[in-house]
Amino acid sequence: MKVDHISISAYLDDFSMITIVVNKPFPIIPSLSLVDDKKVLQPLTIDKQEYYDDLVIYKCRSRIPIDLKNRYWVTFNESRIPLMIGSIVRTAKFDSLYYDDTSLGAIYTPERTTFKVWSPVAFAMKVKYKPRQSDTFLEQKMSRTENGVWQVTLEGDHHLTEYLFVVNVNHEWVETTDPYAKSVTANGIHSVVIHLPETDPEGWNRSEKKINLRSKTDSIIYELHVRDLTIHSDSGVVNKGKYLGLTERGTKTSNGFHTGLDYLKRLGITHVQLLPVADFGSVDETTPDSAYNWGYDPVQFFSPEGSYSTDPYDPICRIKELKTLIHTLQQNGLSVILDVVYNHVYKREESPFEKLVPGYYFRFDEGGKPVNGTGVGNDTASERKMMRKFILDALTYWMSEYKVDGFRFDLMGIHDVETMNLAAEKLKSLNPGVFLLGEGWDLNTNLEPENKATLSSAKKLPSYSFFNDAFRDHVKGSIFPDGQSGFINGNQDARIKSHMKQVMRGYAGQHDTFLKAEQSINYSECHDNHTLFDLLSIRHPFEDEFTRRKRQQLALAFTLFAQGVPFIHAGQECFRTKNGAENSYNLPDSINAFDWKRCESFYKEVDYFKQLIRIRKTQPLFHESSTVLSEWKVPEGGLGFELNLPTTDIKEDASFWTNALLLFNQTTKQIFIPIEEKRWTIAIEGEKVCHRALNEEQYRLKPLSFSLLYSV
């Protein structure tokens, strides 16, 4: 607001502190007062004057604590400036006074629905709603509790009633969707009341409680995007790019090669990790083929994305079809991990969070500007009680309603350790075997380093596994083409070789990153950055493709046989390419689609991948914590490790290996390795499965190859 050529605004920064922001100093310090709706005046005292950028800041104090149920204005020189919500919402007192642990959202029964939304800073609130058979929106005033929860109960059956909240905050009325909405209309225009049993597909058991018994190191995660896996023209799938596309059985290419669900279940993987399926903002759900996105731009955290449904206009359809996908994968022996994004929102200013409680759900710097550690313009503040509650409520909802088996946390390092441990405790009470993993990158957010859920805090977060960038970088080199190369590139730097034992041990131990190897997500490729095939093409431009593929197969062997949890990006097994694109998050299907023709052409390599998985899964020494790993002496350019599993009563079986020898050659020349004859049997050699006894005193390790030997 401008007064006498001075631009002025006023913010409530504490329960008695008001900040006046002007574009130039007052020539004469005015008499400042605070006035409420009842026109009661309170004088304000200027405590200090500060400068920030080109602005002048006056810190003023009120003698009487401010009541957030009222509206206020700051008066000076017969002018009146509306008092806006400032950093008061980020004070410990605010968090303590207004925390509310009751259920929020639209709480449905066939007889009535209660709408509840948290906004302690709202002056008034209404619910605007349109029943199923009506074309007209109605409004109903809501009442406020002491904790700042606004609520109202509407009598009657409101299943499929569309609604919005109309809130008076910062002296204006704004409309917002419900942050707890279980479903929405197309493109999230309106929230929708849902009777959830109506969304259950055939065969769904609402009372079933999922209990996962598989250990983390018995798991093999396969990351995929819902649209990517079936959108290819020769996928043989009817519902291409949809939730239901991944539920179709018997799909094949025109040449008869298995695709989709049948392909996944034949690989031998144990977990499918889905890129975000919660509602996101960058794709128009009514024309889903007009744009593409990975989905890391969340809008509605409790509702599935509509562009993957066959009818985005039907609020039930998106829920039922996602449940069908999850149920189908599980019925085919595959556990389901959801990639969840709680570290930021698509557009902060337009989010229900910011409309309902401005400035609370996000982190800001000392000058009141949003922190941007995520790189997308905003960081959520998981350490605040109601944001923490929101995250825990969302996670428990997805687990209990959709019966998923785990969660992958995008940019988990933005979140705080306490929230993540509370989430683990809650989720494990529902399913002790829930699989939790995340990105532990240390990002520049407004949180003390020791409180960040980063890789350096891994030992404080024993329930979580972390994407292991040290594993990735020492195996394949930096994700940046100009960065340092890795072992598979032929880098014989002593520092690389010295780290390879940690790579094989999963960086676990008293003086290492993790408490146990199960905390290490071992990967050389994921949806981010170049595919490994493309990166090798850039890094080795003068090599033929055959040679580069040999390097990639070396990375695959490290990923599958190092201690920890193997993680595979969909298509890695058939040298997936995105035509050199480094960041394909919004590029078209021509770049992102899983190429079934290419996969079919590399059927031998896919079979090899299956055989490696079978060996890892059937031989306990590759995933038991009691396995002892030691280095095996090999000539320069090679790497060798012996695994030994002490015999126990459980494992006294002729088919179980007590020892395994893993040999890697990073050079383009063969290596001869001294070895004890008649002790070892060759299981893998030259990317082929064989069971041939070794009868020589020297073993010839082929160029750019991996060999696996064993003894029982």
Dig out the tokens for 584 from the structure: 């394909």
Residue 34 shares a structural domain with residue 104? no
Asked if 700 and 635 sit in the same domain, the reply is yes
| Same domain? 44 vs 108 | no
Q: What is the CATH number of the domain that holds 67?
A: 2.60.40.2320
Task: Give the tens place of pLDDT for each residue, 327-355.
Answer: 999 999 999 999 999 999 999 999 999 99
Q: Are residues 28 and 104 located together in one domain of the fold?
A: no
- Report if residue 688 sits inside a domain: yes
- The reply to whether 142 and 171 lie within a common domain is yes
Residue 242 lies in a domain: no
Specify if 104 maps to a domain: yes
Which H or E run includes 19? strand 17-22
**Radius of gyration of the chain from Cα atoms?**
29
pLDDT value of position 652 = 60
User: Which among 366, 307, 376 has a CA at the least distance from the CA of 342?
Assistant: 376
For 331-370, letters b (16+ CB in 10 Å) and e give eeebbbbbbbbbbbbbebeebbbbbbbbbbbbbbeeebeb
On whether the CB atoms of residues 104 and 386 are closer than 8 A, the answer is: no
Does 371 reside within a domain? no
Do 67 and 129 belong to one domain?
no
Residue 509 located in a structural domain: no
What's the domain count of the chain?
A: 3
68 & 100 share domain? no
At 655, the amino acid letter reads S
The last residue of a domain, from among 67, 85, 103: 85
Report the alpha-carbon distance of residue 410 to residue 342 in Å, rounded.
7
Residues 88, 16: Cα–Cα separation, whole Å: 9
CA 79 centroid distance within chain: 49
pTM for the structure as a whole: 0.96
The answer to the question of residue 61 being in a domain is yes
Residue 116 lies in a domain: yes
Q: Are residues 118 and 59 in the same domain?
A: no
Annotated active-site residue 285? The verdict is no
149, 176, 203: which is the final residue of a domain? 176
Residue 677: predicted pLDDT: 73
Q: Are residues 47 and 122 in the same domain?
A: no
pLDDT value at residue 29: 76
The pLDDT value recorded for residue 649 is 41
For residue 24, the enclosing domain spans 2-85
Among 439, 518, 573, 685, the one annotated catalytic = 439
Alpha helices in 13-114 (DSSP H): 92-98
| Residue 439 known to be catalytic | yes
pLDDT of amino acid 422: 98
What does the alpha-carbon distance between residue 413 and residue 441 come to, in Å, rounded to a whole number?
Answer: 5
Output the domain CATH number for residue 148. Answer: 2.60.40.10
For residue 645, what is the domain's CATH number?
A: 2.60.40.1180
Q: Which of 410, 518, 525, 534 is catalytic?
A: 410
pLDDT of residue 5: 62
Of 144, 176, 208, the residue that ends a domain is 176
> What residues of the chain score a pLDDT lower than 70?
1-5, 648-654
Tokens read off for 691: 């069971």
Distance CA 517, CA 456 (A): 15
> Where do runs of H (alpha helix) occur along 51-131?
92-98
pLDDT of residue 3: 53
Q: Output the pLDDT for position 63.
A: 86
* Alpha-carbon torsion angle 695, 701, 705, 709, nearest 10: 30
- Does residue 462 lie within any of the structural domains? no
User: Side chain identity at 105, as an amino acid letter?
Assistant: G
Residues 46 and 116 in one domain: no
